[in-house]
Structure 1
Amino acid sequence: MSLDRVLALHQRGLDALNRGRPLLGARALRAGLKLVPADEPAMAVRLLNSLAAAEAALGNTERGFALLDEAEAKATPATRGLLLQQRGLLLVLVGRMGDALTCLDQAIPLLRRERTVLARTLLNRAMLHQIAGRVTPALADLDRCERLGRELELPRLVAKAIHGRGSCELLAGNIPAALRDFDSARALYEKYADGMLAVVAVERARALLAAGLHRDAATELDFALDAFPRIRMDQEHAEAQLTRAHAALAADDLAAARTWANRAEGRFRRRGNETWAAVAAATRVRAEFAAGKRLGAVATHAAVLAERLGKLGLDNDAEAAGLVAARAYIQRDDLAAARDHIRTRSGSKSLLETRLMRHLALAELGAAAGDRTATFTHARAGLAALRDHRSRIGSLDLRTSTTVLGRELATAGLTAALDHGGPAEVFGWLERSRAQAFRFEPVRPPADSATVEAVAELRQLAHQVRVAELGGRPDPEARRRCAQLEREIRARGWQAEGTGVHDTEASFANVRAALGTDTVMISYASAHGRLCALVVTSQRARLVRLGSLATVSESLAKLHSDLNALCGRTLPTALDRVIRTSVGRQVAALTSELVAPLRPLIGDSDVVVVPTGSLSSVPWNLLPDMAGRPVTVSPSASTWLARRGTSLASPTRWLLVAGPDLAHAHDEVRQLAKVYGDGAVLMGPNATVHSTLTALDGCTTAHFATHGHHERENVLFSRLDLIDGPLMAYDIHQLHAAPTHVVLSSCDVGRTVVRSGDEILGFTAALLYSGTKTVVSSVASVDDDAAVGVMTAYHRGLVNGLPPARALADATTTQPLMPFVCFGSS
């Protein structure tokens, strides 16, 4: 009876450990040791072995080794493999990876009869291979572990094997596959090992950081950091703190990065893990370098850490620390010392981030030495590596976010071109450094049953929230559930893999040839906070230095505020006068900064604008120089040129949609129906999401007179209101064939969120990414009453054969405060 009790306590302890509850596990195992019979040494060995694991998980690694030494004195041939595998695991926790691998290699042949322990040992050896960058043997061990776990009906072990596979995919740079595995593991952990949810959250955060999504990574980490103190997983807690430092570093929150790195280093040192402590110290040094202070000390410390990390076998971390030292030396003009810390080539186990940093250091070294060729060569090579990485990603969200990984490389190349290059060189670097996501073949988001159900629930709840708001009865619970569903749908989208297909950027010669004699392209750029404009015609090109980007952004923000205040309201005369005066002042300021210096170059030509940053939301037709002139705004010259070959022609399949709760929507659609004749008109109960998407797929021209909402914090869910719920930007990516031309005549759904590298997101952007040639939409609130006449005139122009930009310029001449913009290619 006593042995049965001991066996039960041992099993309870193992179950608690496998659920990520080491404190509970240790209590059960200690109780079992007190009851183990003297004539059962093998049972005592097993209990001591498991208790060693629990103590280590609680941060008591010295106690864990002592327990293993005690067990060794009682070991039998049948239990030797058990002790070797456990010692290997504890050696991992103190950073002795080589010794750990030796123990596990010796243990595995001895564990053939201990199939459960064998499976766990394969899992641990896979982790060691992964840490050393040996992905192939790691995946082999994980596959064998997963097979054993399924045969033995051990779902927690299966979850850990899938979790480990995700870590290997992340190491190999396959972020979509990694996120798929992490989500699969998380689903199993929720059922069988809830204590592991915090661990997989840290792994997901690392994947999201590798994709440039530092805010989403921080959300995952904050969940994990809140959980670890309760479940007493000390090593994992320290790793989460270190990853949180990386997230803060990616967000340019350097003080927070140093704080988190210090906390992680302290926790690792208390555990006796000098290897991980050195990695944490290197992270803190990266934050100190980014702060730009005491660069001499930073360079010295980084160089010392590089040598130390190399001796510890962490080749990638050693290279990265050496590159920090090199970049610090470059800033101190000690180029000889910098060269000493840049390897001839990156190691075979170097991560993408490290390879990009090496190219950046060499580009900066070239700039400091006056070698523009080296700067351009290495900046171009780094961006090419990032492009290849991005081509494996299908999610537009991830494609646009990964640009941040090459931000400094793009800046290095563009700055060198702006300082010393000619127009052709500047043009090339502008095209390499902006709107790269447009160059990849669109991939439809996953349409699995769970995603379809989540989208359906989101649409129904969003409609419920809208109705409640209009009735003056907000529904905060429904709103919270909507936010949760948006996060889930967005996360599932991250799992889509790319096709690897991408287009090359347009050549300077081809763009000039396409401009013809009557069109000028103005490509805006910023460097060191200052704006410039590359003005290109078929005959000449010139770079013009402009003013401060901050000044322009401030004027633009004030203009948007004024336009929104005037929209659809009857204001007191005095207030109306004040706001209109402010509008005039901001328009004058924008004209002075953005257009006036370019007047001699643009003459009376049509204009194609390629904006940067906040300039994506400029209502160009409000500026006197642009009023009445065809103006087309495109994310890049390459995008403009690629779409230019698509003929808009006469609308042969057209769609007119009137949404609910918009006073003039039905009148507007009826007026347009008279312009077009027979076609698809959706109004009232017929204007559903399903019927609209069905008619929209592949149509020539679509016009939406509906309320729209620009969601700045979650732009994939910017939306148009229809009778049964919202049509979201997310839905646009599901279309098989994008409409050729779309008009959004209400609200401000022309606004975008601009990510690093001038990557844009929003409802208008979703249409352009999906292949729509031209989108006409507003970048500020629209007076719906006045919009009816403007839109009727606009569509008459289209039917009469005018290009969209020309038709819009003509239609808005009588309504000077109509902030419509023609996006794409006209």
Structure 2
Amino acid sequence: MTAVEERARALHARGLAATGRGRSAQGCRLFRAALALLDWPETTQRDRHAVVTRILISLAAAEVHLGRSEVGFALLDDAEALAEQDDRGILLLQRGLLCVLVGRMDEALHHLNEGISALEGHAEGYDLASALLNRAMLHSLAGRARLARADLLRCGDIARRAGLALLVAKSELNRGYCEMLMGDIPAALRAFDLAKPEFTRRATDLLPVLAVDRARTLMQAGLADEAAAELDEAIRLLGHARPTYERAEAALTRAQVALVQGDHPTARLWARRAERCFLRRGDRSWAAVATLTRLRADFRTGRRLSAIASEAAALALRLRGLGLPNDAEAAALLAARVCVRRGDLREARRHMSHRRSTSPVLETKLLRRLTAAELHAAEGDTGRVYRDARAGLDLLHDHRARLASLDLRTGTAALGAELAAVGLGTAVRHSRVPVIFAWSERSRAQAFLVPPVRPPTDVDTSDAVAELRQQAMVVRAAELSGRPDPGASRRCAELEHVIRARGWQADGDGERTGVAGFHDVAAELGRTGEVMVTFLPVVGQVLAVVIADGRGRVVRFGDLAAVSEAIARLRSDLDAICGRTLPLALAEVITASIRHQLAVLDEHLLRPLGDMLVDRDLVVVPTGPLSGIPWGLLPPLRGRPVTVAASASAWLQGRRAVSAPMISEPLLVAGPHLRFAAAEISKIAGMLPASTVLTGADASVDATLAAMDNRRIVHVAAHGHHEPGNFLFSRLDLADGPLMAYDISRLPTAPQHVVLSSCDTGRTVMRVGDEMLGFAAAFLYSGTKTVVAGVARVPDDTVTGVMAAYHDLLLRGARPSRALAEAAVAEPLIPLVCFGSC
């Protein structure tokens, strides 16, 4: 080999390394420099043909990646004219890959199959592994996830044997995408984590690609906000250079996430941007997918319906021709939904008869069920509406049961929100109370019907949790000193993300229970003489199913907007007056406002019930903002037992649960920096002499968790912090750092009865599907039967007497809801609520 050829081969190797890291422009420069050294295209030296052919093949790929597809295919033709027989396989594979990138899927599969056949048996290294990686990408795009996964596993094995670490990482990245298509969210996220270290070391330009696929996976799990954050970071990393394949793909995924978030103008903007970029690159397949995303955004706005129907129908045929059956089916179903909305049911049925994908992803299955339910609703066939909506929600519930993370379990409700709304809306309009009640239960808090699974314990997660506790103490100390520490706050946010993301990777065991039936719930209420008011998640209205004396009826309440405003003002007023010595005039103004907001809630939520409540105990199943009402403060409910449950099914499940033997001695814990905490715990300990008491330095996180496990009753007086944007890290301040909601899920056996007497630890965030999230909710999800906590700040100077009275009543045999109602009646502004199945 001459010195010139050696230099050319070295340039080729550097170019391959650059393109492998996603730097196609740099690769092009190196490849062209190598060809110039070899005097291509003027050279006539036959002994240089092999190396020129390889460089031309590599250059062709880089040019197509940069959007110059005509140049790329012309270079392949030049390579084919020079290629020896041994290079035919490589040439076929590269032509197949480039056909994938420009959307010529059938042609691509033909070339890849031939190329892999040509290589098998004598090429077990980089070329064959890369070929399998590329064919897997094609299978993934066509929805053939299992075939793609098989190619990727083989690619990874070959690459490991050959010591090709970066190619192994690429196989893991693509395997994660396949796992997502097959609905295995934890497996997908684990694969992405396996790919990331190698990308970080050797191919940082591929990190945005990884972020895009992670975002897609989080979107499939219903975590649209988290997906948007991943994408925004990916787009930032990609910068503002000329449009690339990666930027176009990120823009398309950002559009899809905005669509899930309900931000239709943003979805349309990003989809149009991606569409233009793909078209400039000559990629008809991805451009068509971007067009579908834009049409879906237009459909959400309700404009251009006639045009959308015809465009979506034509697009379905185009997508089918491009080898994208899942997207083709989605386009046909979009056309059908438009026709249903316009009242053209015959045309809707025609679109629904469009050929189905042979391997539909979960999203497509749910979309078909939703479209069928909407069509049957327009036809007035309620039985078939229920059948399709129920079948879709059952698919989603099976999917949820395979997830261990509470974050993912609650997030998946977003995927079935429209199906649940169709079923419930149809029931409200056409069916009797038991059917309405059943659909209400299918529409809310489904994560409570999946048995709790402890998150995995590994060294990295444990280290992150330990560091988070330490950093949280730094943040808290800085806050108390009046000198915030932004660096520590940022580090806390980073650690929270790491811990949360690790939890997403855990597998569920597939177990789940069904919703409770109306007659079972009515029988339990009749046994105890209680009344249940189950508020319905119907947009813009306040409706409820009221069950009493074995019968149910639907009651219409006041305006939802007025109720929501009154709740927000009430909690703000309660927080403002809590624990402060205010000027008399200001205190009178706030107190008057509190009385007014309570009167508004009474007028809108209790008066419509008339005499149905009589003087019986009340069970409330709230929806949306109603979860934040301190029910015991409403004048008609003063002194009356009220239990707040996430759903009737969760309430009945708790009532019927048989507790195993538990540690009967109460656990009493006092946290730091709370003026009356030690006095409160001391007073209760005097009433309960057999208690385990943790105060001062003894009230550490580890000691509290160890003592809390399998305890019959736990009472904690400690500062609490509600984190609405990251509920796993809502927390209580203990002696050596925060005890977080995340920690509760790690308990082998959750305590049966928990009292959180300080701050607003009962405050919740309601995700789509009325999935209740927060510190108190973390106990309920983990199996705790009863949690007493505040939905607004609790005045710690007056709560001590209430808590002493509460425990005294428990000792006398009162149920928690009654004990709280009677103990708090003497104090007018104690916003404690009894959650669970008291």
TM range (shorter): over 0.9
Q: Residues 176-212 of structure 1: CA distance to partner in whole angstroms, max 9, x if unpaired? A: 1011101111122111211111111111111011011
- The amino acid across from 2:29 in the alignment is R
* 1:231 Cα offset (Å): 7.5
Residue number in structure 1 paired with 2:253: 243
Residue number in structure 2 paired with 1:796: 808
CA distance 1:96–1:131, shift in 2 (3 Å): same
Does the 8 Å CA contact 1:720/1:728 hold for their aligned counterparts?
yes
Alignment partners' CA distance in 2, 1:421 and 1:506: 18
Residue number in structure 1 paired with 2:550: 539
- The amino acid across from 1:336 in the alignment is R
Does the 8 Å CA contact 1:655/1:699 hold for their aligned counterparts?
yes
CA distance 1:557–1:143, shift in 2 (3 Å): same
Residue number in structure 2 paired with 1:26: 28
Residue number in structure 1 paired with 2:42: none
Deviates more, 1:251-260 or 1:106-115: 106-115
Alignment partners' CA distance in 1, 2:77 and 2:118: 19
Alignment partners' CA distance in 1, 2:662 and 2:244: 67
The 5 A counterparts of 1:255-654 are: 255-343=265-353, 346-515=356-525, 516=527, 518-646=529-657, 652-654=664-666
- 1:118 aligned residue (108, 112, 128): 128
CA distance 1:156–1:743, shift in 2 (3 Å): same
- The amino acid across from 1:12 in the alignment is R
Alignment partners' CA distance in 2, 1:346 and 1:102: 23
Does the 8 Å CA contact 1:346/1:358 hold for their aligned counterparts?
no
* 1:134 Cα offset (Å): 2.0
Q: Residues 115-141 of structure 1: CA distance to partner in whole angstroms, max 9, x if unpaired? A: 211110111011112222222322221
Deviates more, 1:450-459 or 1:339-348: 339-348
Deviates more, 1:372-381 or 1:126-135: 126-135
Residue number in structure 1 paired with 2:114: 106
Alignment partners' CA distance in 2, 1:145 and 1:282: 32
Residue number in structure 1 paired with 2:102: 94
SS at match of 2:572: helix
SS at match of 1:699: coil
The 5 A counterparts of 1:9-48 are: 9-36=11-38, 38=45, 39-48=47-56
- The amino acid across from 1:753 in the alignment is V
Are 1:4 and 2:6 an aligned pair?
yes
* 1:517 Cα offset (Å): 5.5
Alignment partners' CA distance in 1, 2:455 and 2:720: 22
Residue number in structure 1 paired with 2:209: 199
Deviates more, 1:680-689 or 1:71-80: 71-80
Alignment partners' CA distance in 2, 1:361 and 1:74: 54
SS at match of 2:635: coil
- 1:725 aligned residue (734, 737, 742): 737
- 2:67 aligned residue (41, 59, 62): 59
Q: Residues 286-336 of structure 1: CA distance to partner in whole angstroms, max 9, x if unpaired? A: 011110112112212111111221222211111111111111111111111
Identity in percent? 54
The 5 A counterparts of 1:764-783 are: 764-783=776-795
SS at match of 1:483: helix
Alignment partners' CA distance in 1, 2:19 and 2:240: 14
- The amino acid across from 1:435 in the alignment is A
Residue number in structure 2 paired with 1:687: 699
Alignment partners' CA distance in 2, 1:233 and 1:140: 32
Are 1:223 and 2:225 an aligned pair?
no
Residue number in structure 1 paired with 2:193: 183
* 1:564 Cα offset (Å): 0.7
- The amino acid across from 2:438 in the alignment is G
What is the number of residues matched between the two proteins?
Answer: 826
Alignment partners' CA distance in 1, 2:358 and 2:109: 20
Are 1:737 and 2:749 an aligned pair?
yes
CA distance 1:162–1:337, shift in 2 (3 Å): same
Give RMSD over aligned pairs. 1.4
Alignment partners' CA distance in 1, 2:252 and 2:31: 31
- The amino acid across from 2:435 in the alignment is E
Deviates more, 1:230-239 or 1:739-748: 230-239
Does the 8 Å CA contact 2:440/2:537 hold for their aligned counterparts?
no
- The amino acid across from 1:595 in the alignment is L
Q: Residues 140-162 of structure 1: CA distance to partner in whole angstroms, max 9, x if unpaired? A: 21122111111111111000111
- The amino acid across from 1:640 in the alignment is W
Alignment partners' CA distance in 2, 1:762 and 1:528: 23
Residue number in structure 2 paired with 1:753: 765
Does the 8 Å CA contact 1:20/1:231 hold for their aligned counterparts?
no
SS at match of 1:250: helix
* 1:346 Cα offset (Å): 4.5
* 1:236 Cα offset (Å): 2.2
Alignment partners' CA distance in 2, 1:145 and 1:156: 12
SS at match of 1:602: coil
Deviates more, 1:189-198 or 1:33-42: 33-42
Does the 8 Å CA contact 2:130/2:155 hold for their aligned counterparts?
yes
Q: Residues 761-802 of structure 1: CA distance to partner in whole angstroms, max 9, x if unpaired? A: 110010000000000000001110101000110011111111
* 1:111 Cα offset (Å): 2.5
SS at match of 2:542: strand
Alignment partners' CA distance in 1, 2:837 and 2:150: 50
**TM-score, normalising length: structure 2:** 0.97
Does the 8 Å CA contact 1:517/1:537 hold for their aligned counterparts?
no
Alignment partners' CA distance in 1, 2:286 and 2:499: 35
Does the 8 Å CA contact 1:57/1:232 hold for their aligned counterparts?
no
- 1:807 aligned residue (809, 816, 819): 819
Does the 8 Å CA contact 1:319/1:343 hold for their aligned counterparts?
no
- 1:677 aligned residue (670, 681, 689): 689
- The amino acid across from 2:814 in the alignment is L
SS at match of 1:325: helix
Alignment partners' CA distance in 2, 1:125 and 1:174: 21
SS at match of 2:833: strand
- The amino acid across from 1:5 in the alignment is R
Q: Residues 580-624 of structure 1: CA distance to partner in whole angstroms, max 9, x if unpaired? A: 110011000001111111131111010000000111110000001
Alignment partners' CA distance in 2, 1:260 and 1:600: 54
Residue number in structure 2 paired with 1:73: 81
Alignment partners' CA distance in 2, 1:153 and 1:457: 35
* 1:30 Cα offset (Å): 1.1
Does the 8 Å CA contact 1:650/1:798 hold for their aligned counterparts?
no
SS at match of 2:558: strand
Does the 8 Å CA contact 2:662/2:710 hold for their aligned counterparts?
no
Deviates more, 1:126-135 or 1:564-573: 126-135
Alignment partners' CA distance in 2, 1:568 and 1:762: 23
Deviates more, 1:562-571 or 1:346-355: 346-355
- Structure 1 unmatched runs, 5+: none
Alignment partners' CA distance in 2, 1:463 and 1:517: 46
CA distance 1:19–1:344, shift in 2 (3 Å): closer
Alignment partners' CA distance in 1, 2:69 and 2:7: 27
Are 1:49 and 2:57 an aligned pair?
yes
* 1:646 Cα offset (Å): 4.1
Alignment partners' CA distance in 2, 1:12 and 1:176: 36
- The amino acid across from 2:63 in the alignment is E
Q: Residues 655-710 of structure 1: CA distance to partner in whole angstroms, max 9, x if unpaired? A: 10000000000000000101111221000010100000000011010000000000
SS at match of 2:557: strand
SS at match of 2:612: helix
